[in-house]
Structure 1
Amino acid sequence: MYSHYLIKINILSPFLALYLQIVTRSKYQQMNLRRLLYVFAIGLTPVLGNAQDHKSVPENWFNLDYEKDGVLGISTEKTYESLLKGKKSIPVIVAVLDGGVDVNHEDLKNVVWINVKDSLSNGIDNDKNGFINDRYGWNFIGNAKGENVQFDNLELTRLLRKDAPKYSGVTAATVLTDQEKRAYNAYLKMVATYNEKLDDAKYGAMNYVALKENIDNLVKGINKDKSQITIADLDSLNPAGNRQKIAIRIAKEEIEKAGGFAKFYQDLKEGADYFGNQIAYHLNKDYDPRSIVGDNYEDATEYHYGNPDVTGSDALHGTHVAGIIAADRTNTIGIKGVADNVKILSVRLVPDGDERDKDVANGIRYAVDNGAKVINMSFGKSYTYNKQTVDQAVQYAMSKDVLLVHAAGNDSENNDRSPNYPNKFFTDSVGAISGVADAWITVGATGPRKDEELLASFSNYGKTSVDVFAPGLYINSTTPHSEYKEEQGTSMAAPVVAGLAAMLRSYYPALTALETKEIIMNSVTKLEDTVRIKLEDGSFKTVKLSDISLSGGIVNAYSAVEKANEYITKKKK
């Protein structure tokens, strides 16, 4: 689910908790302030997971250098200006497995992968690969009629829908074997998690909608475009009652934090929409859109289904990711991606909801079969349905010398204890770890400076499960319709690493996927500064990056290229 890897809106101020206490007239009113703050600061969804205030940073900060520019970027510009200046490179295909990419974006159109063997619209499989008109890539969540899946359930919802008939008749008197008891207890735990998520979604939807309605009523009399509304305009209003008074207080504070009323209002609308979608789609057991695709969902070996629409219904996330990797560095518009000689292959398989394992596996295989040397995966989920199918696809990718880069997740959790799927650990039929994907990098998110934002507050971590960190806060990149937007999340950190991997494989084509990973891991910037992580019991602990990742640092392009030169020199001897 890519919304778990993209912090879409900033958390509203603590005034919101006070507002919610006043407007709520239901069982949720019994929640105390601590619970309210937990729900909106941490527990509801990563959509609200970033309590960090924006600080002024250069829009290209993730490519800048700490010594020269004062921000903890990966020194991309310094690398091109010195170590790589005048060097030759070869094009490298990077697959973006995501929710869709706008291949016509002004800053991406020159770097998109094009299947020259196939047409875009003639309805014929010219290259006979089983995918008709896959000119720019493939969409595994659509059908041959051009219809696409936009929303889907969480995997948790799908698992409960599948298992409910099996356990509906179980009572305290039911005799179960030890194995059946374990399975039943796991089911009950999922039920409890689901109910908590549903309660939170209902609570969030109810109160965000209420706040939005009060704001809408208040600004009707201002008679201005939302982009023109100021704090003075809000001060001139005559609120009717405490709800509207506090709504104004929230709006005034958020105008300053968000950068204007229009941005605040958009954040508010996205929050209301998110919680609404949780109820209508993500957590709705009666909603199942898979019939749109028309495949045999239980047949994990089925490969040829979908359509060539790589943009889909909402390509914001995938387009943003693609720009970080490879936005055109040769033009004078927009932004600069990390890699300068890359072709972006778009594979659409992530809906608004949790991606399905069958689609992930097929997306990996499709990317490999079409020449990708780096695969970026800025998505993930807390439950898995058919991990073995994904594991087999990952093994296939590694057999073809492909490096896979995955976002760690935005739940402020320890991935060592709370697995995030897909991941680099292969498991057998009973869930025991049976191996590790060596050519795999899991990426956490860091901020621009050595302060409280050094570790992004939302970033997952893990001494054994997270490999490196990379910039993931305040990242300006491409969005559909040739626009640009600042986003944050481990979704943004992963493509920074994918771009770096592509840079290395482009300028040093003799490097294998595993060697590329080793170079990235062994060239990180290690800091003595400490960061704060949230533990399972809700408390906090101060640690170093070396305590919460394998490499112990932030990726650095300059050091990586220096290390690559050493590798190549040794290879030649």
Structure 2
Amino acid sequence: MNTINKAYLTLIIFGLFILSNVHSQNKHSNTLHKDCNIPWYFKDFKNDSIVGISWQKLISEKSVLEKIDTIIVAVIDTKFDIFHQDIKNQVWTNKKETKGNHTDDDGNGYVDDINGWNFLGGKLSNKHISDSNFESVRILRKYNDFFNKKYADTISVSERWKYEQFKLATNQRAQEIANLKEDLEYGNVLNDRYWIAKDTVAKIFGNSSYTLKELDSLYQKTEKENDSVLKPLVYFMRDFVKYDLNEQWILEQKSLPLQLEKTSYSQEYDERYLIGDTLNELGFKDYGNHEVYNDSITFQHAISIAGIIAGQLNCKEEISGFSEKFKLMPIVVAPTNGDEHDKDIALGIRYAVDNGAKVINMSFGKPLSLYKTWVDDALKYAEEKDVLIIASSGNEGKKIGDNFEHYPDDHNNSSEHEIVSNFVKVGSTSKKINNKLLSSFSNYSKKHVDLFATGSDIALLAHQNSYKRSSGTSFSTAIVSGVAAVIRSIYPNLTASQVKKVF
């Protein structure tokens, strides 16, 4: 550590607050121009009165950009829109593989993996699994017959972790079924209310074309007259127009729960059969495909992570990654609905390590883990190969601990001890310099969350060359991954565990 310019690194991580005790187009370039709208989290507390990471201050005072070298960052996530105009030049390419020849040229077990690997894709088809089971369903499917009538005092030491996961899965399943029932009822009510409100308001105006201003005026009238029948219908249509909703969205609120009842919630649904996988065998790797890019999937998450880490500067949209020299490796394990498989996570980590990633971003998580040891072994493998893993803490707004977990984690099944030194769990902070500094949605823990970074109201890339704003620990995790990549690039002799200690 004595080779590090500590003051220099302090500037980089200024906004990465260690809050373990908290309890409750423009020219594309990564040079930040003075007249450019940059991400708010790049700003500095002292200079701008904004609790950012001081990136703008750092690169204005130091020749940081020139010192950054090429480094591979793996994005283990959803499918990845590798053709987005602000990210396409930063996508990793496997130079050992020949595109489209249907041959495993580099002998790594993955055919035509030019840009990464999709563990949710069909081996011999273009199928992609958007709906996966919840982990509770998988655990109950595997252990229900074995543990259902047993008591805790009859369980052997070797079976205790499995039994605890079974009991937690039983409770989780009950909550998920209650949520499904609520979603089904909401979808039906929303659908029925929409058609009644639409027809009623159309009759009042004499047509179905009206402005938000006209709806506001009508609503004020119904409120003044205390019309309990008409008032909620007008309010409904006012929100429908105000938030730019459409009939397709209304229909989805009704149809999606019905779909998930047959897939993510169902013990009869076996999505692994569709992609040719043998789920219970980690050694079986002959599944998935090379199609990591975006298609028609509805959950577009990875592109937002990618933009934070290495997106090209887009002044208009207030978006910029940390360096155009970073190469992003797409690895697909996260479905649109349901939970990630431990097998996919474990193999995804190993794929990233074996193909040269120095930083791995994992902005996902789940409350249960059927094959935790598989993931733990993959974390240890990454540690042995000196790869740093940055993972999100989750968005439930809960304390991670005895009654609530968020996997993957770096703790042993039976103790509080960390099993590796290369794993960083990240929570989210906001713009508020007060008791609301911790983002309300962020999970937290003194023992299980390593640090917090800015994750509220973040400008993001979205699929098909579009943009959006959102909040979540996913994005604070990506910011930490970007900073980690900068450090590992400028200081290549630092180990993954040393970079974690810097944080």
Q: TM-score range by the shorter chain?
A: 0.7 to 0.9
Mapped to 1, the partners of 2:329 and 2:113 lie a distance apart of 10
Relative contact order higher in (CA < 8 Å, ≥ 6 apart): 2
1:178 deviates by 4.6
Report if the CA contact (8 A) 2:120-2:128 is conserved: yes
Mapped to 2, the partners of 1:86 and 1:199 lie a distance apart of 51
1:208 deviates by 4.0
Mapped to 1, the partners of 2:164 and 2:106 lie a distance apart of 50
Counterpart check, 1:80 vs 2:66? no
Q: Give 1:329's aligned residue.
A: 313
Report if the CA contact (8 A) 2:197-2:236 is conserved: no
Report if the CA contact (8 A) 1:143-1:294 is conserved: yes
Q: Give 1:318's aligned residue.
A: 302
1:186 deviates by 6.1
Mapped to 1, the partners of 2:480 and 2:495 lie a distance apart of 16
Q: Give 2:462's aligned residue.
A: 479
Cα distance change on mapping 1:334 and 1:86 into 2, 3 Å: closer
Q: Give 2:281's aligned residue.
A: 299
Report if the CA contact (8 A) 2:45-2:51 is conserved: yes
Q: Answer with 187-196 or 96-105: which moved more.
A: 187-196
Mapped to 2, the partners of 1:251 and 1:62 lie a distance apart of 36
Question: Counterpart of 1:149 in structure 2: which amino acid?
Answer: I
Which residues in structure 2 correspond to 1:79-98 (within 5 Å)?
79-85=58-64, 87-98=66-77
- Structure 1 residues 121-177: Cα deviation after superposition (integer angstroms, max 9, x where no partner): 221222222211111100111122221111011101111122233356x39xx9982
Counterpart check, 1:358 vs 2:336? no
SS at match of 1:292: helix
Report if the CA contact (8 A) 1:329-1:340 is conserved: no
Counterpart check, 1:123 vs 2:107? no
Equivalent in 133, 137, 153 of residue 153 of structure 1: 133
Which residues in structure 2 correspond to 1:82-231 (within 5 Å)?
82-85=61-64, 87-144=66-123, 145-167=125-147, 170=149, 177-179=154-156, 187-219=166-198, 221=202, 229-231=211-213
Cα distance change on mapping 1:395 and 1:403 into 2, 3 Å: same
Counterpart check, 1:245 vs 2:217? no
Q: Give 2:427's aligned residue.
A: 444
1:488 deviates by 1.3
Which residues in structure 2 correspond to 1:258-407 (within 5 Å)?
260-262=242-244, 275-276=257-258, 278-311=260-293, 313-314=297-298, 316-329=300-313, 335-351=319-335, 352-407=337-392
Q: Answer with 303-312 or 153-162: which moved more.
A: 303-312
Mapped to 1, the partners of 2:466 and 2:459 lie a distance apart of 10
- Structure 1 residues 338-359: Cα deviation after superposition (integer angstroms, max 9, x where no partner): 3442100000011121000110
RMSD in angstroms over aligned alpha carbons? Answer: 3.2
SS at match of 1:121: coil
Report if the CA contact (8 A) 1:66-1:73 is conserved: yes
Report if the CA contact (8 A) 2:422-2:497 is conserved: yes
Q: Give 2:5's aligned residue.
A: none
Cα distance change on mapping 1:115 and 1:451 into 2, 3 Å: same
Q: Give 1:463's aligned residue.
A: 446
1:296 deviates by 1.8
**Structure 2: runs of 5 or more not aligned:** 1-36
Cα distance change on mapping 1:465 and 1:116 into 2, 3 Å: same
Question: Counterpart of 1:354 in structure 2: which amino acid?
Answer: D
**Structure 1: runs of 5 or more not aligned:** 1-57, 522-573
Mapped to 2, the partners of 1:154 and 1:69 lie a distance apart of 44
Question: Counterpart of 1:138 in structure 2: which amino acid?
Answer: W
1:513 deviates by 1.3
Counterpart check, 1:422 vs 2:422? no
Mapped to 2, the partners of 1:244 and 1:452 lie a distance apart of 41
Q: Answer with 78-87 or 98-107: which moved more.
A: 78-87
Mapped to 2, the partners of 1:132 and 1:185 lie a distance apart of 39
Cα distance change on mapping 1:127 and 1:187 into 2, 3 Å: closer
1:413 deviates by 1.3
Mapped to 2, the partners of 1:201 and 1:287 lie a distance apart of 16
Which residues in structure 2 correspond to 1:17-96 (within 5 Å)?
60-85=39-64, 87-96=66-75
Mapped to 2, the partners of 1:357 and 1:86 lie a distance apart of 37
SS at match of 1:87: helix
Mapped to 1, the partners of 2:464 and 2:254 lie a distance apart of 24
SS at match of 1:325: helix
Report if the CA contact (8 A) 2:362-2:392 is conserved: yes
1:291 deviates by 0.4
- Structure 1 residues 473-494: Cα deviation after superposition (integer angstroms, max 9, x where no partner): 1111111111111121111110
Cα distance change on mapping 1:86 and 1:188 into 2, 3 Å: closer
TM norm structure 1: 0.71
Q: Give 2:20's aligned residue.
A: none
Mapped to 1, the partners of 2:481 and 2:164 lie a distance apart of 39
Cα distance change on mapping 1:310 and 1:334 into 2, 3 Å: farther
Identical-pair percentage: 31
Report if the CA contact (8 A) 1:339-1:500 is conserved: no
SS at match of 1:282: coil
TM norm structure 2: 0.81
